[in-house]
Amino acid sequence: MASLHAFVYGRVQGVFFRSFVAGHARELGLTGYVRNVADGSVEVKGEGKRQDLEKLVGFLREGPPHARVIKIDNSWGEYTGKYPGFNVT
């Protein structure tokens, strides 16, 4: 089990990016959250199996049809178990 903290940059707000991420995260059985950041990026915090988090990173790179991802900054950490589900905030 692991934790992922990522910031996604590009055209990622106003294009259903958060719902796209949340849907895939829930399908993968991950917990955490996705939210817009004031600088125009999207923050993602996910916890679960490392291989499922790596799949989520692939979805972050892809994005929904109208998104254009330019850059992803991510870091890995220890699983905390503090998130009951995966939420859009």
Burial label, 44 (beta-carbon count in 10 A; 0-12, 13-18, 19+): buried
Query: Which CATH architecture group holds 2-77?
Result: 2-Layer Sandwich (3.30)
The domain spans of the chain are: 2-77
Q: What's the number of CA atoms in the CB half-sphere (13 Å) around residue 47?
A: 14
Catalytic: which of 18, 50, 74, 87? 18
Task: Indicate if 61 belongs to the active site.
Answer: no
**Token match 């955490």: residue?**
32
DSSP letter at 65? T
- Specify the DSSP element, H or E, that contains 88: strand 86-88
The pTM assigned to this predicted structure is 0.96
- From first to last of its 89 residues, what are the pLDDT tens digits of the chain? 999 999 999 999 999 999 999 999 999 999 999 999 999 999 999 999 999 999 999 999 999 999 999 999 999 999 999 999 999 99
Measured between alpha carbons, how far is 23 from 40 in angstroms, rounded to an integer? 21
Catalytic: which of 11, 36, 74, 87? 36
